Structure formats: C-alpha cells, structure tokens
Structure 1
Amino acid sequence: MIKEVKVKTALSPSKLPGLEYALNPYRGCAHACVYCYAPSVIHWDKGKWGELVEVKVNLPRILSKELRVKKKGVVGLGTVTDPYQPAEKKYEITRRCLELLSLHDFPVCIQTKSSLVLRDMDLLKSFSNLEVGVTLTALDESVRAKMEPGASTVEERLRALEELSKNGINTWVFLGPVMPYITDVDALVDTIAKVKPKYMLVDRLRLKEGVWERVRGFIAGFKPELLADYERIFLRGEDYYREIFEGVKRRCEEKVVRCEVNRLGD
C-alpha cells in the first residue's frame, strides 16, 4: 500500500560515522527485510513492516530550500529506508533529490538493495563526491528471497556494482547483517572481491525492539533446527561473531579488499 504524505523537513542530523545528514525519501520500506531495525528507529506503528510505504511527495521542494542555507556535508541517502525501493520507479523522489544535491555539490553516500540505482547513472556521474553502497546478506537466492522478499536479486545487485564501477562510481558493499549459520561469509567475500568495491563494511545482526520477533518467526519457518542456536547467541549472549569477523578480515586480506567491522553498539 502506498500513501502520499507531506513533510516539513528534509535533511536530518545523522549520528552515523562519516555522515552529516540523513535524507530518506520514503517512510517504510517495501523490501520487508526480516532483520530490519528501521521500524524501531522511526517508531513505526502503522502495521506490518513492508506493507505500507509513505511517499514524501514534497521532499524535493523542502530539500531545495534547505540546501540554500545548510552547511555543506555528506548526505546519507537511505539511512532508514531504501531510496530505490519499488515506489521510486513511479515517484522518482530520490532522483529529484539527487538532481538538487548535485546542483549544490553536496557529497552523497547512497545505500540500497536495488538495481534501480542504475537508472540514475547520468546523475551519479555528475557528482564530484559520491559513493554507492549495495547490501548483500546471502548468495543463495532462495535464502535472499525469504529474508528480503521485496529487494533485487543477488545477481542484479552484483551487476549493479559492476556497472557502477565501470562508470567510475565509487562503490562499497555492506555485508550484513551476518545471519548465524545462514550467511556464507567466505563465499560472499570471494564474490564481492570480484566486483572490486572501494571497501566493505561487515556487521552483525542487531536485535533492536521488534527485530527478534520477526527473526525468530523467520527461523522457525525457514530452518527451525537453528532456533536453539539463535536463542543461545542472542538471548544468552554467546560470542558467535568474534571468530566469524576475524575470519572475514583474513579472507579480505587474501582477496585484497579493504574491510571494516561495524563496532557501533558493541
């Protein structure tokens, strides 16, 4: 379901490292990822996550006014929503915002799970400082489809990374969240190395409010034999990730891929 809304502000201060501002063209996200913690961040209270998307139809107009007075800084495009989710095909809010950001020469960092980003290649190439990050959580398409039902396929995302790089766009990969006993990190690192991103950011599954219920339901339906393991890791605090992340770092060194582990919230 799509709902058109109007907003009073566009750029919000960001607490994420490397970002001065957050810009989210939509509220809600049709990708409906089971592990997403955005609902707790934006205090989502409008039904099941993924079933409603609010389109900020006046966002470009508000952004245009703000860019005239805001101090220049890096804008994170899509910090609690995907700027290239299906609604963007029709509304083009992200594209119109990019046009304005390019006009004012603001640095931009995009994060997405959608190959629709390739539509805006002409705009992306117009920036003096821009990078595009693509999230990858699993190589197995059957797993991806269950965890991220509304997002682009793994193949489409890898192709997007290749096309962006070929066109001189700086790319990065968010390998995360690493889902215990589901994410094949070695295979993912090997595949990511082939598309040669500028760097890779690795992160754990973060169980903010409401996430555990969705993840538990997913595991119960997908691989119920893992339920006890997930409870041991996330409810009783077993240190699963230390060894996994050390292995990721070693493999990245072998493949000559710059790798950072997200320590926020540890």
Structure 2
Amino acid sequence: MRVVYETKGKAREYFELAVNLYSGCTHGCTYCYAPQVAHKSKLEFQNVQPRVDLLKNLELDCAELEKAGETRHILMSFLTDPYQPLPGCVSITGKAIHTMKTHGLNVAILSKAGDCCDLDLMTNADWFGQTLTFDNPHDSRKYEPNAANPLWRVGSLRVAHNAGIQTFASCEPIINPTQTLNLIEQSAEFVDRFLVGKWNYDKRADLIDWAKVANRIIERLDKLGKSYYIKKDLAAYIGHPEGMRVEAK
C-alpha cells in the first residue's frame, strides 16, 4: 500500500485501516501525540500541507483493496484531521471519499472540525465520528485551541445520524471526567457507538482515579443502552486489560 496503511497499537483499537490526507494539523491540541510521531515540533506540525500525490496513490491503493475483497473501514484520519481550514480541503476529502466508494470500500471519518460536508457521498455502511473532550468551550479552547466548538461537533453528529450515517464519538482523552459524562448524555440519542480512552502522556493524568472513572462511564453507557468500547489502557484499571466491548441490547 502507498497511502492506506494497517494501524498499530492504540490506533488499531479503533480501526484497522487508515489514510492521512495531510501532513500536519492546525488544531494545535496540547495532548496530541502526532507531532512526536512525525518528529516535528508542535509549531512545525501546524504548518499543514496536502500529501504529495495523495489522490493518485489512493486510487491505486483502493483498486488493490477492491480486488482483494477488502471490507474493513478506512479511517480518515489518525495523524491529522480530514477537514483542515485550507483552500481545497473539502474537495480533497470529498474526492478521497468518492474514490473509496467507487471501489466499493467502507469509509470512516474522525474529526474535531465540526464539519459534515461530505455526508452525501457516504452510505449507511460508513461511519462519521467526532472527538468529544469538553462541553465547556473555554476548556476546549485551552486544550485544543483551533478545533471546532464542542457544540458544533455534537451538532454534526446529530446531522450525520439524521442522514442515515452510522455515528461514533471518540471520548479520548478524558481530561475532565465530569465533562465527558455530560457529553455522553448530550449526544447519546444520535451516537451509535462510544469509544473511550484515558488521558496519556501527561503527569496530571496520574492524579485521576481511573478505575472510578471507568466504572462511572460504563454505568452511564449501560443505563443509556449504548454500544461502546473501553480501550485497553482504561479498561485495565477494572480488570479488562484486553479492552471492553459491549453491544447495545
């Protein structure tokens, strides 16, 4: 594969295939691990550029995946956001989705941009997701300064759900457990699956009682009757080191 890749580690708990449309991301999230992966400073990482020959290479990869009978979803994106505030951003993402669907492949979107521009290109076999971290816009601006307002993200999930697209919320990282619980309540009606993970790479995370957090979130999700996956790093605190997956009854 040229641009589509098999994920590893923590990312693989979400989706097994992914593609990054851009090098870098403008959101500037303080908790982001991607600059380290890219061997760039956080400031350098915010200098976003479309990947060279992305669409041409994606076409070649998708043709091979179609021939192989691939059915797994291809996520956009782990190391960037598919909706960057750049000229032509929406058209690049739309063209990427069109390419995948032309080859009969399944698409997944994960964003913090609050956009849902390309839902008309997606089907009910696809997934549309938003990262939900804070319900307080002030806290969101502090930790993820250039990402969309939390209310916009929640709103885009509602729009996608109403359009017949499967929806998921990535509640990771959990920085303020109370706000995460609030977001679950606010979005449960139109989110099909919740993916939940702890706060990593920050010493302040050591001050949080993760077993208590995990149990509170599971209790809330069970009460709401939602499907969810608790990632390994959080589930380990309650005796599930391989993660915890529950389907709605």
Q: Which amino acid aligns with 2:39?
A: W
Uncovered stretches (5+) of structure 1, i.e. residues with no partner: 1-7, 217-229
Task: Check whether the contact 2:90–2:117 (CA below 8 A) recurs between aligned residues.
Answer: no
Aligned to 1:160: 156
Kindly indicate whether residue 191 of structure 2 is the aligned counterpart of residue 192 of structure 1. Answer: no
Aligned to 1:123: 121
Give the SS at the match of 2:222: helix
Cα distance, 1:25 vs structure 2:
0.2
- CA separation of 1:69 and 1:50: change in aligned 2, threshold 3 A: closer
Task: Check whether the contact 1:115–1:160 (CA below 8 A) recurs between aligned residues.
Answer: yes
From 2, 9, 14, the counterpart of 2:2: 9
Q: Which amino acid aligns with 1:158?
A: V
Task: Check whether the contact 1:176–1:204 (CA below 8 A) recurs between aligned residues.
Answer: yes
Cα distance, 1:144 vs structure 2:
0.7
Task: Check whether the contact 1:83–1:94 (CA below 8 A) recurs between aligned residues.
Answer: yes
Kindly indicate whether residue 167 of structure 2 is the aligned counterpart of residue 146 of structure 1. Answer: no
Give the SS at the match of 1:66: helix
Aligned to 1:99: 98
Task: Check whether the contact 1:31–1:150 (CA below 8 A) recurs between aligned residues.
Answer: yes
Cα distance, 1:9 vs structure 2:
2.3
Task: Check whether the contact 1:57–1:93 (CA below 8 A) recurs between aligned residues.
Answer: no
- CA separation of 1:184 and 1:148: change in aligned 2, threshold 3 A: same
TM score, norm. by length of structure 2:
0.83
Aligned to 2:239: none
Q: Deviation per CA, 1:77-113, whole angstroms, max 9, x where unpaired?
A: 1011111121265463221111100100111221111
Cα distance, 1:68 vs structure 2:
1.7
Aligned to 1:87: 86
* In 2: Cα distance, 1:177 partner to 1:74 partner: 23
Give the SS at the match of 2:117: helix
- CA separation of 1:252 and 1:45: change in aligned 2, threshold 3 A: same
From 195, 203, 207, the counterpart of 1:201: 195
- CA separation of 1:20 and 1:248: change in aligned 2, threshold 3 A: closer
* In 2: Cα distance, 1:32 partner to 1:161 partner: 22
What is the aligned residue count? 228
Give the SS at the match of 2:128: strand
Q: Highest relative contact order (Cα 8 Å, sep 6+), 1 or 2? A: 1
Uncovered stretches (5+) of structure 2, i.e. residues with no partner: 237-249
From 209, 215, 220, the counterpart of 1:251: 220
Larger gyration radius, structure 1 or structure 2? 1
- CA separation of 1:100 and 1:48: change in aligned 2, threshold 3 A: same
Q: Which amino acid aligns with 2:118?
A: D
Kindly indicate whether residue 172 of structure 2 is the aligned counterpart of residue 176 of structure 1. Answer: yes
Give the SS at the match of 1:173: strand
Cα distance, 1:33 vs structure 2:
0.6
Percent sequence identity is: 24
Aligned to 1:261: 230
